[in-house]
């Protein structure tokens, strides 16, 4: 694909490295494991892999607590192994996107070890240190995303440090120019090794109020809700200064883009629509200078209903700045899996939605075989989110279980003991079994991905909303003279489609129903939960 179009026309696939493929029998997935599965990804048809953190880490938050931004954790492999992975991926036409975690480091990172050692240490100001409140308590009311105050008292120097997540994840001070310079060097380190872009972790939170003011109370807070929502995050999220940093990051990354390879920034942003689209940045000479893809997570929280999703798509399309590339996400390592949220039949419809909407789709590993959340018994819980706030349904282990590859022991994931249990159905729901079944979820994903790649209307066409009845989400994708119509029946009953919309005997390019014939004999009627792509 031409240089600047891979992240526009292509498909991103998220790998949670601990759970993708183990190569050395320690029960934890690794880089050589990913390398061994590249041909699977090529056959699936995706264009880029985003790999969650693989850097040296005490694993308090499974790699999102980083002790060295420029290394590889021995559990995952070595730098040489990483280079080999990039080279093998590139030789197959696959791009490699790394996770960049700028908000915090591990408390074991040498920067923090120095910073906490003395008030006058040169790295003191690399983190957010504050005196206790007059009563000795935390400096303000900010709450950690993982529960409890976002501040930890450090007796050595008698001050508190800020941590938006675990106490093992102290927040960096992005107001300090030395921190910025050091973190931009981290980007350059990986860009020089050939990575094609970064998914930027909790981008909206990286800079905090310079005066550390208390957050105001959330008037909509209901007792019993996650206490995290008790305050509005006015002074520690989405401050105007974040945009400055985004612009700087973009310049660093752009310096490595050339005619043969364009590098991309993807922002992790859970924000309301108007705030989200601001992360595309301002336009300079017709080019938006923010992150190219501010992750659009709206489908993750959506009510799974045609009218609601139709509205959400229209609102998103209308909110996008000129020249912005839309994108869609169905799931990730932090949220319940799509097949569990909507059920197995609807998950097929969701696959068609994701792969036919206008915008770059991101797939979460295992969703292509319909993996579901796995119930993890209390004594096997790994995720600190669940350990800190037990019983609130916040734990993320269920959506992080090992990929089932085959009916071999431990589903071919490992020869050892998997770090997290496999789903009960791994003997039947696995890649090998689904590869042999034309009606499987995997076959559907493969067909839809191939169709998206083959049809310009799907990978680069415009989006036109259509009306087709209450339970049917309908839209056209147009490019040049080509017009494809997508019809998705969210209803539990069959849905006849008006001949004014779809003439008799239409050609069906894809259906979620494997038994559907290519040419319909008569008027179009959708089966319950059926989705189709029709060539006009």
Catalytic residues: 201, 268
In the shown chain, the binding pattern of residues 454 to 473 toward ligand GLC, with x for contact by CB under 6 A and - for none, equals --------------------
Does 101 contact ligand GLC by CB under 6 A?
Answer: yes
Are 305 and 346 spatial neighbours (Cβ–Cβ below 8 Å)? Answer: no
**Residue number, 54 or 532, with CB nearest to ligand GLC:** 54
Cβ-count burial 242-268 (b if 16+ within 10 Å, e if not): bbebbeebbebbeebbeeebbbbbbbb
In the shown chain, the binding pattern of residues 326 to 355 toward ligand GLC, with x for contact by CB under 6 A and - for none, equals -------xx---------------------
CB neighbourhood size of 221 (10 A): 15
Tell me the closest approach of the beta carbon of residue 116 to ligand GLC, in angstroms: 20
Rounded Cα–Cα distance for residues 525 and 536 (Å) = 16
Does 226 contact ligand GLC by CB under 6 A?
Answer: no
Does 32 contact ligand GLC by CB under 6 A?
Answer: no
**Residue number, 6 or 190, with CB nearest to ligand GLC:** 190
**Residue number, 40 or 270, with CB nearest to ligand GLC:** 270
Closest CA to 23 of 76, 83, 74: 76
Beta strand ranges found along 282-339 (DSSP E): 283-284, 287-288, 293-294, 327-329
Tell me the closest approach of the beta carbon of residue 113 to ligand GLC, in angstroms: 19
**Count of CA atoms in the C-beta half-sphere (13 A) of 460:** 16
Does 67 contact ligand GLC by CB under 6 A?
Answer: no
Does 202 contact ligand GLC by CB under 6 A?
Answer: yes
**Residue number, 88 or 334, with CB nearest to ligand GLC:** 334
**Residue number, 328 or 490, with CB nearest to ligand GLC:** 328
Residue nearest to ligand GLC (CB): 64
**Residue number, 201 or 367, with CB nearest to ligand GLC:** 201
Does 64 contact ligand GLC by CB under 6 A?
Answer: yes
**Residue number, 20 or 426, with CB nearest to ligand GLC:** 20
- Looking only at Cα atoms, what is the longest distance across the chain? 80
Tell me the closest approach of the beta carbon of residue 65 to ligand GLC, in angstroms: 7
Are 11 and 361 spatial neighbours (Cβ–Cβ below 8 Å)? Answer: yes
Does 231 contact ligand GLC by CB under 6 A?
Answer: no
The arrangement of strands across the sheet holding 12-15 comes to: 293-294, 264-267, 197-200, 95-100, 48-51, 12-15, 360-364, 327-329
Does 112 contact ligand GLC by CB under 6 A?
Answer: no
* Angle at CA of residue 38, ends 34 and 43, nearest 5°: 140
Does 198 contact ligand GLC by CB under 6 A?
Answer: no
Does 165 contact ligand GLC by CB under 6 A?
Answer: yes
**Residue number, 97 or 533, with CB nearest to ligand GLC:** 97
Tell me the closest approach of the beta carbon of residue 51 to ligand GLC, in angstroms: 13
Tell me the closest approach of the beta carbon of residue 118 to ligand GLC, in angstroms: 27
Tell me the closest approach of the beta carbon of residue 63 to ligand GLC, in angstroms: 9
In the shown chain, the binding pattern of residues 289 to 328 toward ligand GLC, with x for contact by CB under 6 A and - for none, equals ----------------------------------------
466 forms beta bridges with 474
Alpha-helical regions (H) of 49-176: 79-91, 110-115
Interaction residues for ligand GLC, span 260-279 (CB under 6 A): 268
Closest CA to 425 of 463, 474, 370: 370
Closest CA to 8 of 479, 352, 453: 453
**Residue number, 9 or 169, with CB nearest to ligand GLC:** 169
Are 216 and 231 spatial neighbours (Cβ–Cβ below 8 Å)? Answer: yes
From candidates 30, 32, 47, 61, binder to ligand GLC by CB under 6 A: 61
Q: How many residues bind ligand GLC (CB under 6 A)?
A: 9
**Residue number, 154 or 334, with CB nearest to ligand GLC:** 334
Tell me the closest approach of the beta carbon of residue 533 to ligand GLC, in angstroms: 32
Rounded Cα–Cα distance for residues 488 and 429 (Å) = 25
Cβ-count burial 81-112 (b if 16+ within 10 Å, e if not): bbeebbebbeeeebbbbbbbbbbbbbbbbebb
Q: Which two tokens stand for residue 165?
A: 């997540």
Does 201 contact ligand GLC by CB under 6 A?
Answer: yes
Does 488 contact ligand GLC by CB under 6 A?
Answer: no
Tell me the closest approach of the beta carbon of residue 61 to ligand GLC, in angstroms: 5
| Phi (first) and psi of residue 491, to 5 degrees | -90, 165
Helix (H, G, I), strand (E, B) or coil at 97: strand
* Angle at CA of residue 203, ends 201 and 204, nearest 5°: 140
Exposed, middle or buried, 153 (CB in 10 Å: 0-12/13-18/19+)? middle
Tell me the closest approach of the beta carbon of residue 303 to ligand GLC, in angstroms: 23
Tell me the closest approach of the beta carbon of residue 415 to ligand GLC, in angstroms: 27
Q: Where does this chain bind ligand GLC (CB under 6 A)?
A: 61, 64, 101, 165, 201-202, 268, 333-334
């Amino acid at each position: 694909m031409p240089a600047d179009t891979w992240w526009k026309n292509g498909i991103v696939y998220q790998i949670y490295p601990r759970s993708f493929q183990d190569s050395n029998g320690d029960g934890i997935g690794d880089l050589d494991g990913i390398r061994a599965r590249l041909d699977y990804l090529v056959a699936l048809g995706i264009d880029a892999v985003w790999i969650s953190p693989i850097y040296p880490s005490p694993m308090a938050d499974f790699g999102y607590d980083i002790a060295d931004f420029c290394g590889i954790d021995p559990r995952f492999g070595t730098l040489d192994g990483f280079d080999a992975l990039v080279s093998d991926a590139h030789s197959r036409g696959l791009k490699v996107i790394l996770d960049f975690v700028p908000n915090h480091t591990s408390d074991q990172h040498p920067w923090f070890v120095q910073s906490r050692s003395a008030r006058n240490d040169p790295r003191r100001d690399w983190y957010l240190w504050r005196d206790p409140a007059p009563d000795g308590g935390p400096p303000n009311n900010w709450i950690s995303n993982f529960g409890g105050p976002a501040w930890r008292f450090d007796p050595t120097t008698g001050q508190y440090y800020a941590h938006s997540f675990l106490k093992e994840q102290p927040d960096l001070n992005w107001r300090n120019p030395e921190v910025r310079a050091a973190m931009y060097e981290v980007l350059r380190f990986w860009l020089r090794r050939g990575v094609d872009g970064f998914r930027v972790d909790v981008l909206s939170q990286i800079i905090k109020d310079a005066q550390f003011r208390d957050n105001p109370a959330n008037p909509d807070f209901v007792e019993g809700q996650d206490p995290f929502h008790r305050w509005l995050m006015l002074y520690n999220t989405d401050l105007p200064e974040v945009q400055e940093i985004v612009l700087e990051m973009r310049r660093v990354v752009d310096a490595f883009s050339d005619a043969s390879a364009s590098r991309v920034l993807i922002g992790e942003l859970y924000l309301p629509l108007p705030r989200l689209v601001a992360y595309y940045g301002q336009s300079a000479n017709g080019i938006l200078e923010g992150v190219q893809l501010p992750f659009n997570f709206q489908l993750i929280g959506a009510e799974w209903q045609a009218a609601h999703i139709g509205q959400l798509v229209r609102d998103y399309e209308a909110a996008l700045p000129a020249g912005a590339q839309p994108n869609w996400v169905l799931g990730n390592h932090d949220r319940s899996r799509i097949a569990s949220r909507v059920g197995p039949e609807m998950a097929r419809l969701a696959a068609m939605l994701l792969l036919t909407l206008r915008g770059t789709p991101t797939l979460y590993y295992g969703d292509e075989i319909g993996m579901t959340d796995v119930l993890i018994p209390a004594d096997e819980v790994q995720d600190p989110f669940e350990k800190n706030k037990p019983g609130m349904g916040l734990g993320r282990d269920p959506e992080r279980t090992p990929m089932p590859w085959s009916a071999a022991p431990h589903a071919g994931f490992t020869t050892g003991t998997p770090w997290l249990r496999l789903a009960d159905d791994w003997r039947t729901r696995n890649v090998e079994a689904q590869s042999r079944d034309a009606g499987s979820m995997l076959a559907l994903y493969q067909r839809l991905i191939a169709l998206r790649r083959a049809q310009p209307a799907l990978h680069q066409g415009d989006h036109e909303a259509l009306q087709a009845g209450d339970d049917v989400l309908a839209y056209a994708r147009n490019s040049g003279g080509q017009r494809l119509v997508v019809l998705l029946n969210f209803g539990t009953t069959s849905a006849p489609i008006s001949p004014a919309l779809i003439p008799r005997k239409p050609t069906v390019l894809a259906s979620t129903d494997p038994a559907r014939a290519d040419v319909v004999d008569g008027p179009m009627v959708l089966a319950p939960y059926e989705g189709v792509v029709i060539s006009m």
